[in-house]
Amino acid sequence: MQHRENHHKKHDLKNMTLDEIELFISGLGKEKYRAKQIMKWLYRSGITSFNEMSDLSKAFRAEIESIARISSLMIEETQKSVDGTKKILFRLEDGNVIESVLIREKNHWTLCVSTQVGCQMGCRFCLTGKYGFKRNLLPSEIVDQVTISRFNTPEGNDIKNIVMMGMGEPLANYENTVKAIKIITNDAGMGFSKRKITVSTCGIAPMIEQLGKDTSVNLAVSLNAPDNDTRGYLMPINRLYSIERLIAACKSFPMPQRRRITFEYILIDGINDSDGDAERLANLMNGVRCKFNLIPFNEFPGSEFKTPSDARIDAFRKILIKHKYTAVTRASKGRDILAACGQLRGTKENTR
């Protein structure tokens, strides 16, 4: 127990940005450029021990190991869907579990990562929230989902996009999410382009505005209704920040080049999928540079909602297209392993 306590008093290098590692090793009287060497080992080589940092002297490695550590998540289980989607169950150091999803695209893979253990937003259509909220993930735990997926899965080299759409609400864990983005996009780290990272939110309007000031990643907003009554019924966050407030925040979000905000709209039979809903949605978004991802509701055991018919989904999409919007119906991937949107729950089934 004593060893474990000492272990956790050490500074975790994976919770640090490049600037913070520079500051940390400057305090040891070391040259700043060493920080980039350390970052490259952590994120380009995926090493898990100081001994492997072969371009640092043995004395320096021993010194840094006495006060710092390299945390790591453990892959507990991987499930594969019939459509190729993979769900990875990670065990955290405190025993909690989270899930990430590898989604096959045409010629690359997208990794969907979690930002919290559970979720406290309470959206009615989402299974994650039904398991309650445990805690925020640390920057290291967000970043490590990417690092470990890159170095420990066959798909690793082909992960080109990262979407923060797994368990939890990224903007409710704002500082840690932004720090993770800085580490993932740093040239000495993983070197991901900000254009390849998407943060998805249920609509915490002030934090959307803040995100636009702090970074230039893509924004996806879970909308799911064109009016406050329906959205408030589906998503409690709407009682805090109305649709009008949310759209104002989206309009202020800076979007370079030809980028657009993605509005995710989960179509639920008889709740938000009528022709009238589609018309109201089209009018509501007038003047917002956006596109729509239509997601047929993914039923899960005990869910109160149903998936609309294909004809209904198609009619809804055609109305948005008639109004000159880009609208895609997103094929739900990984439904058979509860890996589709709104189905992640971070629990391990007892299979015995």
**Catalytically annotated residues:** 99, 341
- The closest alpha carbon to 112, from 120, 123, 124, 102, belongs to 102
Query: Computed over its alpha carbons, how large is the radius of gyration of the chain?
Result: 21
Within the chain, where are the H helices?
2-9, 18-26, 33-44, 58-67, 139-152, 174-185, 205-214, 228-234, 243-251, 275-284, 310-322
> How far apart are the C-alpha atoms of 249 and 236, rounded to whole Å?
18
Q: Which residue has the tokens 């690359």?
A: 108
> How far apart are the C-alpha atoms of 189 and 56, rounded to whole Å?
17
- The closest alpha carbon to 299, from 100, 82, 86, 125, belongs to 125
- The closest alpha carbon to 288, from 325, 316, 237, belongs to 325
With vertex at residue 124, the alpha carbon angle to CA 120 and CA 129, rounded to the nearest 5 degrees, is 30
> How far apart are the C-alpha atoms of 217 and 210, rounded to whole Å?
12
What size, in residues, is the chain?
352
42 by Cβ neighbours in 10 Å (0-12 / 13-18 / 19+) ranks as buried
Structure token digits, residue 196: 């390849």
Look at the alpha carbons of 138, 143, 149, 151 in this order and tell me if their dihedral is positive or negative. Answer: negative
